[in-house]
Structure 1
Amino acid sequence: MKFSQYFSLIALLSVFVSCSSDSEPSTETGKSGTPPAVTPVPTETYFPPISRTNEWETLSMETLGWNEDEVSNLYFFLENNNTDAFIIIKDGRIVIEKYFGDFKSDDNHAWNSAGKNLTAMLTGIAQEEGFLNILEPTSTYLGEGWTNMPLNQEQNITIKNQLTMTTGLDYTVEDIFCTDPECLNFLNDPNTFWYYHNGPYTLLDDVIANATERDFNAYFSEKIKEPIGMQGLFLKIGYNNVFFSTARSMARFGILNLNQGNWDGTSILSDKEYFNAMTNSSQNYNLAYGYLYWLNGKSSFRLPSSEDEFSGSLIPNAPDDLIAGLGLNDQKLYMVPSLDMVIVRMGGASNEEFLGPSSFDNELWELINAVIE
């Protein structure tokens, strides 16, 4: 069954300046009769400094025992599928960092729906700080009349429903990005069906802003962006609130996730119960979906713009414990705890334009496996 196609969000803006990679240390070959020096693989996690953002330790493929002969095939595939930036991080260190065409390391790119991960974590932080409870009705923070439904139906929708795509709001409307009340109509009772409906998700930003009485960008910057050395900004594009940053900033957020909300001893999100709920199946209708996170290794999955359920794992070629942020035009943030690995891909659509997961994921992981195995 083919994935349903959706219309695209196109936005190219520059926001802040990031950084370029450090040179990679070399390993000298021993003289005749002396074995070559062996560089040990680091076992501790490295956190790139937040005050010196141009610094980032590297790790060679040779040290890791990766197959460097397969890298050219990986680059060929990426370049021929409209990639702008590609990074592989192992144990916090850069192993591969490649930019294509005119795109540079300090250029900013839209995350599109991969940015949903940012909102999910920020929601957990706001709950941890006592500003909201995800089990409360959304109307507690948006007021009555944020939908086009009778009040008794509207009050059944909770913040958790927004996080899990189970609001029951009508996804057959002309524009599922629309956040105006007239676009938000009853279709199903909450918690009875999963559908990738962008409008209710986007309103989470207003929930957080109203609950904290802070500008959304300012609260995000204080709680996540600045403490881990990211740069970037959420910008309004039509109804959507889209995050733009460098590829390295996306990689930093990936490292934060692999360390379950902790950055080099600083707790960004301390609530482990929330983090675990966010990164595991959040409901029974789409096992491959947490709190706005995509999950691999489940027995079935559903996709954006579709009512169908598909058997098997979301990305069969990827590790089962992979969690991900997946955005329109193949923006990819892969996080693999078992490998302590973060992979970032930014660029244009590989072929058809999918809202999140696409066939590109599985093709890309086949080539990644050839390198890392």
Structure 2
Amino acid sequence: MKKISLLFILITSLWSCNSDDGNSSNEEAMYFPPIGSSTWETKTIASLGWNETQVQPLLDYLELKNTKGFIILHNGKIVMENYFNGHSATDTWYWASAGKTLTATVTGIAEQEGYLNINNKVSDYLGTGWTSAPIAKENLITNKHLLTMSSGLNDALGDDVSPANLQYVADAGTRWAYHNVYVKLQDVVAASTGQTWTNYFNTKLRDRIGMTGFWFQSGENRVYRSNTRSMARFGLLALNLGNWNGNQIIDNSYFRNSTSTSQNLNLAYGYMWWLNGKSSYRLPQTQFQFNGTLIPNAPNDMYCALGKDDQKIYVVPSKKLVIIRMGDAADGTNFALSDFDNELWQKINAVIN
């Protein structure tokens, strides 16, 4: 009996030492920088076993390609943080369409708080006549269609989202087109919560993860502007599927849906997140389907926020990485994806692999 008891204790001890509960000694806990503090823990490239000889070529490339701010986080800690071309850690820059993911996230927060349902039609919140489409066609458009760029409205008429400029082309859900109409979701959130978009965003997302920054009006768009670390904070939230240091800011299942194929028209698109590793993809301003993955040199499980002139948030769960790039266009002006993405990942891979 004594031998059996000792054997049981030994087995239990070994199981406890080797169990993978996220707290084992050989697994580093995810780090979250404190709210309201400039403190952010770092780790070295050497400690990760990365190739230090390839760091300078990466930095040279970033500077050559008009980068202003660049950050790599591993497990939440800063591994690289570099600024170029007169930019600094405290300077702000615009997110452009990378900020679409902020709108998608706050829409999900409003849904989890019971203010809206993404499967309801937009006219439930904004009233009819928010487009110039026939009422029967307008009433086909749900909040989810705006999240997934499948409203069926004409994307060739520019950024104006006045009713006269939101014209019917196809039934909602039958055509994927990158369209500025997504900004109407901000109006849906404001109408359903009874708050201004900015106030709801600040209290429910920005302030809860320690971001700074502000929305400004650019034509028909509200565009977000912040320092590079604030963008990295949002990327860290995305890496953790909407959880910030144990606090579930946005519903986990909603965030998983955000970063999964959301419709069968563009496999590489979620709720305003771009998805790598799919068998095909579509790009803004075209109805052509491209075969292959979005960014071949990047990991297949990566999801990313992509903005005009190469604003980037890359999130790679398998490698516990968040990578941020802010700046002017690397080459020519572009709407989201560019050749720069694939070239940049070639340089990043030389460092991290």
Shift of 1:272: 2.5
- Which residue of the partner structure matches residue 185 of structure 1? 167
- Which residue of the partner structure matches residue 233 of structure 1? 214
Superposed, which structure 2 residues align to 1:58-97 within 5 Å?
Answer: 58-97=42-81
* Deviation string, structure 1 residues 10-48 (Cα, Å, up to 9, x no partner): xxxxxxxxxxxxxxxxxxxxxxxxxxxxxx986111000
- Which residue of the partner structure matches residue 32 of structure 1? none
Greater helix proportion: 2
- Which residue of the partner structure matches residue 242 of structure 2? 261
* Deviation string, structure 1 residues 105-153 (Cα, Å, up to 9, x no partner): 0111000000011111111110000000011110111111100122111
* SS of alignment partner, residue 242 of structure 1: strand
* Deviation string, structure 1 residues 74-104 (Cα, Å, up to 9, x no partner): 0111111100000000000000000002100
Superposed, which structure 2 residues align to 1:197-346 within 5 Å?
Answer: 197-198=179-180, 200-269=181-250, 271-346=251-326
Amino acid at match of 2:127: G
Amino acid at match of 2:202: S
Report the TM-score when normalising by structure 1: 0.87
Q: Distance in 2 between matches of 1:312 and 1:49?
A: 40
8 Å CA contact 2:274, 2:306 repeated in 1:
yes
Shift of 1:233: 0.9
Report the TM-score when normalising by structure 2: 0.92
* SS of alignment partner, residue 241 of structure 2: coil
* Matched positions, count: 329
Query: Is 2:140 the counterpart of 1:156?
Result: yes
C-alpha distance 51-171 of structure 1, shift in aligned 2 (>3 A): closer
Runs of 4+ displaced beyond 6 Å: none
Amino acid at match of 2:255: F
8 Å CA contact 2:66, 2:85 repeated in 1:
no
Q: Which of 97, 106, 110 is 2:94 aligned to?
A: 110
- Which residue of the partner structure matches residue 28 of structure 2? 43
* SS of alignment partner, residue 334 of structure 1: strand
- Which residue of the partner structure matches residue 153 of structure 2? 169
Amino acid at match of 1:242: V
Greater radius of gyration (CA)? 2
8 Å CA contact 2:131, 2:166 repeated in 1:
yes
Where structure 2 has 5 or more consecutive residues not aligned to the other structure, the ranges are 1-24
Query: Is 2:181 the counterpart of 1:196?
Result: no
State the identity %: 49
* SS of alignment partner, residue 227 of structure 1: coil
* SS of alignment partner, residue 333 of structure 2: coil
Where structure 1 has 5 or more consecutive residues not aligned to the other structure, the ranges are 1-39
8 Å CA contact 1:41, 1:64 repeated in 2:
no
Q: CA RMSD in A?
A: 1.1
Q: Distance in 1 between matches of 2:221 and 2:146?
A: 15
8 Å CA contact 1:41, 1:63 repeated in 2:
no
Q: Distance in 1 between matches of 2:156 and 2:346?
A: 35
